[in-house]
Amino acid sequence: MRLQGKTAIITGGARGLGESMAKLFADNGAKIITCDMGDPLYTYENVEFYKLDVTDSEACKKFSEYVIEKYKKIDILVNNAGITKDGMTRKMTDEMWNAVIAVNLNGVFNMTRTIGPHMEDTGGGSIINISSVVGEYGNIGQINYSATKAGVIGMAKTWAKEFARKGVQVRCNAIAPGYIMTDILKTVPQELLDKFAAATMLGRLGQPDEVARAALFLASDDASYITGSVLSVNGGMRL
């Protein structure tokens, strides 16, 4: 019960990594508020669901103010919602570029601009930005995605400085997963997935709960002296 008594917001929690984190955090005693575009295919004790488009700045502000009013203290924010729209730079349209920036970058800002200061005002908290191995090392055909995933690392480091500048224990870290078996990979050809698996030291792709357990660590007081860091969860992909 490593999150006993804590309240967490997880964006994009209807499925994939968000679902895995929501369940694991709830199993560890937290009250979970998830928000997503689509409805979740699961119900879980202590996981409350709201429909929210993280690209909608006004809606995010209203949602954040509502949950702060309702729960009084938000201890954990996981900026997890994310999308891909892959293509080579020469073929990338404005629509593909802007759509990925809107969710993966603006969405993180839209949520944290209210919840981060709330944590600062109420004595502490843990913010986790879900980045990617692609944000650390780049990837052919993902200029939009790599820009956002590198961006959320910069945002994590900035918030680690900004929200703790008065000595308040607000921590902000990023997790950079490798290739993890969720729907986001469903458009990736099998031969590429095999190549990614072979490129890891562990010789396989990751499972959602392997990222969720890393997030649980960073969210919990076990990581009380860790801030501004990037935790790579990629099976040793880039050693």
Footprint of ligand NDP on this chain (CB under 6 A)?
11-12, 14-18, 36-38, 52-55, 80-83, 103, 107, 130, 132, 177, 179-180, 182-185
Residue number, 107 or 125, with CB nearest to ligand NDP:
107
- Three-class secondary structure of residue 4 per DSSP: coil
Residue number, 82 or 125, with CB nearest to ligand NDP:
82
DSSP string, 123-166: TEEEEEEE--HHHHH--TTBHHHHHHHHHHHHHHHHHHHHTTTT
Active site residue 145: yes
The distance of closest approach from Cβ of residue 129 to ligand NDP in the complex, given in angstroms and rounded to an integer, is 9
The two structure tokens encoding residue 225: 């002296």
Evaluate whether 235 touches 201 at the Cβ level (below 8 Å).
yes
The two structure tokens encoding residue 156: 């994590």
Residue number, 110 or 164, with CB nearest to ligand NDP:
110
The two structure tokens encoding residue 154: 């910069």
DSSP strand pairing (31-36 vs 124-130): unpaired
Residue number, 163 or 196, with CB nearest to ligand NDP:
196
Residue number, 82 or 235, with CB nearest to ligand NDP:
82
Strand partners, 114: none
Catalytic-labelled residue, pool 50, 145, 179, 225: 145
The two structure tokens encoding residue 109: 């800002």
The distance of closest approach from Cβ of residue 26 to ligand NDP in the complex, given in angstroms and rounded to an integer, is 17
The distance of closest approach from Cβ of residue 189 to ligand NDP in the complex, given in angstroms and rounded to an integer, is 14
Phi and psi (nearest 5°) for 48?
A: -105, 135
The distance of closest approach from Cβ of residue 70 to ligand NDP in the complex, given in angstroms and rounded to an integer, is 19
- Direct distance between the N- and C-terminal alpha carbons of the chain, in angstroms, rounded to an integer: 33
Contacts of 141 (CB under 8 A, 6+ apart): 86, 87, 88
Tell me the catalytic residues: 145
